[in-house]
Chain A
Amino acid sequence: ETGVTQTPRHLVMGMTNKKSLKCEQHLGHNAMYWYKQSAKKPLELMFVYNFKEQTENNSVPSRFSPECPNSSHLFLHLHTLQPEDSALYLCASSPGTGGTGELFFGEGSRLTVL
C-alpha cells in the first residue's frame, strides 16, 4: 500500500480508442504529478497540479489530457495515441509547498498502444 492508488494497472488500447487513467492519493498532499517511464529513458515529467491548478505542462502532446477535480484525484485522458506512447505511466504526489519535495509514487499503469 503506497498511499497513491492507480487504476487500471494494465491497459491495452488501439490508436482510435479513448481511455482514462485514474490516480487517487490518501496522503493529504497538495501536489500531484504524471510521469512517463519508457525503457532506457529517464522518468519524464508530464504534468504537475498544485492545489488543483496545473502548474506544469512539459510540452506534452494534446492527445494526453489531464484533469484534476480535487487535490486527491488526478486523471489522464488518452485519445488517439501512438504506439510510441506505450509506457508505464506513474502518478505521484507530494506535500506541496514546504517539505522536502519527496515524491510518493503509485504503482503505475502499464499502457500498451496497438
Chain B
Amino acid sequence: GQQVMQIPQYQHVQEGEDFTTYCNSSTTLSNIQWYKQRPGGHPVFLIQLVKSGEVKKQKRLTFQFGEAKKNSSLHITATQTTDVGTYFCADSGGSNYKLTFGKGTLLTVNP
C-alpha cells in the first residue's frame, strides 16, 4: 500500500533557528495533510495541500507540495518553544476516509 516516509525522525534546535521536515513518497500523493501533536496530546490538523507546487503559509509555518506531488515539506522560521511536538504528514490516497500517516518528526526546541 501507499507509504509515506518522513524525515528526519528527530530534530533538536536552538530557539530562533529554522526547522524543516520532509514527507516523501515513491508514488504520487493525492492530498497532503499536516498535523501537529504536542507531547502528551493528540494530533491537531494544521493544513491541507491539494495542488501541484502549492505553497501555503501560516505565520511562521510554510507548507509546500512538490511539483510532481511526490513530496511535501513543512518549514518553521525562527522556532519557539511552543513549536515543540511531533509533526505528521498524511496522504489521503484519493479517499476522504483513509489517511496514511508518516511516522512523524519530533521537534524539540532548546530555549
> B45 to chain A: which residues have CB within 8 Å?
102-104
Distance in angstroms between the alpha carbons of A96 and B44 in the assembled complex: 18
Interface size on A, residues (CB 8 A): 27
- Residue B52 lies at the interface, judged by CB distance under 8 Å to chain A: no
Least CB distance, B44 to chain A, in whole angstroms: 7
Q: A43-B88, A90-B43 are in contact. Are A102 and B33 (CB under 8 A)?
A: yes
Q: Which of the segments A13-21, A66-74, A105-113 contacts the partner chain?
A: A105-113
Interface string of A81-114 (1 = CB under 8 A from B): 0000000001000101111111111111000000
Residues on B with C-beta less than 8 A from A62 are none
Task: Name A104's closest neighbour in chain B (CB-CB).
Answer: B45
Nearest chain B residue, comparing its CB with the CB of A50: B97
> Per-position contact with A for B84-110: 1 when CB-CB < 8 Å, else 0?
000010101001111111111000000
- Asked whether, in the complex, the Cβ of A45 is within 8 Å of the Cβ of B98, the reply is yes
Contacts of A65 in B (CB 8 A): none
B42 is an interface residue with CB less than 8 A from chain A: yes
* A48: chain B residues within 8 A (beta carbon): 97-98
- Complex interface: chain A residues within 8 A of B33 (CB): 100-103
B96 lies within 8 A of A96 (CB): yes
Contacts of A43 in B (CB 8 A): 43, 88, 90, 101
B39 at the interface (CB under 8 A from A): no
With A43-B88, A100-B48 known as contacts, the answer to whether A105 contacts B42 (CB < 8 A) is yes
A94–B98 contact, CB under 8 A? no
Closest residue of chain B to A95 (Cβ to Cβ) is B96
Question: Which of B42, B88, B92, B101 is in CB contact (< 8 Å) with A101?
Answer: B92
Q: Which of A1-49 contact B (CB under 8 A)?
A: 2, 31, 33, 40-43, 45, 48
Q: Is B79 an interface residue (CB 8 A)?
A: no
Establish whether residues B92 and A42, one from each chain, have CB atoms under 8 Å apart when the complex forms.
no
Cβ 8 A contact of B42, one of A33, A99, A108? A108
